[in-house]
Homo-oligomer: A and B are copies of this chain.
Amino acid sequence: MNDASSRSTYDASNYRTPDGAPSDIVIFTIVSKSKEQGKKALPARELQVLLIQRKSWPFEGCWALPGGFCHEDESMESCARRELLEETGVQDVHMEYFNVYSKPGRDPRGWMISHAFVALVEEQQLLGRKAADDAADVRLFPVEAALSMELAFDHSVILRDALGKVRENMLTTTIAKQFLPQEFAISELYQVIQTVVPDFQEQNFIRKITSTKSRKGIIEEVYDERGERKHSNRYSQRAAQLYAFTDYAPRLSIYS
């Protein structure tokens, strides 16, 4: 039966339909692990992912990605945002759709076609929620740990794909801003990139990102009310110039 004939005789009741269209959300955050309070130093940072522990069949007791079923009156994106809000209390965050997971048999409950999103959330936003909700079944895990766990459904695969996507986007887009305050020091930016993409290394990072003509425009120096360049010594003795992302998004090309 080809498409034309199937459509010409279309009647929904003729067909087996999916049993649900869930969204699964991979929520990444970067947590700062400041070693000693007295010391003024860049805190060590770690990429973590939020997982929930399932309370019921299937995969009872297993850790899984948060998510939930799409309603008839919402789009997948709305669904994901709703679930994100319900499960973490977080809204207005960077979220993007990245893949569909539809392998037959991936969900014992039936024919479920799952839609995976990546959300990038500041640590702060999650901490508030986690304090309020003392259920032990939602927790942040270091990504490496989560990757080696056996998650429910095909969530290990989804997590791996999501991590790949975020690593790619970290280098090709300006999503680093999702993990940074509005105004930040170059060293913070560098550290965020390295936290997500461990093998990222640029020896002359400052120069490239500031004094380069081609790159110029991704970030810009921040000035205070008096027109002076704004500095901060949050993380260092010598105060560092603060920068902010601009709206400029360079267009990359392998053909340059």
A-to-B contact residues, CB < 8 Å: 2-4, 6-10, 12, 15-21, 52, 54-57, 66-77, 83, 86-87, 97, 99-100, 102-104, 109-111, 113, 115, 137, 171-174, 193, 200, 202, 205, 208-209, 212, 215, 218, 250-256
Contact = CB atoms under 8 A, between A and B. Distances in A.
Contacts of A109: 10, 12
Q: Which of A54, A73, A102, A250 has the most CB of B within 10 A?
A: A102
Chain A facing B: main interface SS: loop
B255 A2 contact: no
Contact of A4 (B52, B74, B75, B104): B52
Nearest to A167: B251
B255 A250 contact: no
B3 A215 contact: no
A9 to B, nearest CB: 8
Contact of A252 (B69, B72, B218, B254): B254
Contacts of A10: 56-57, 109
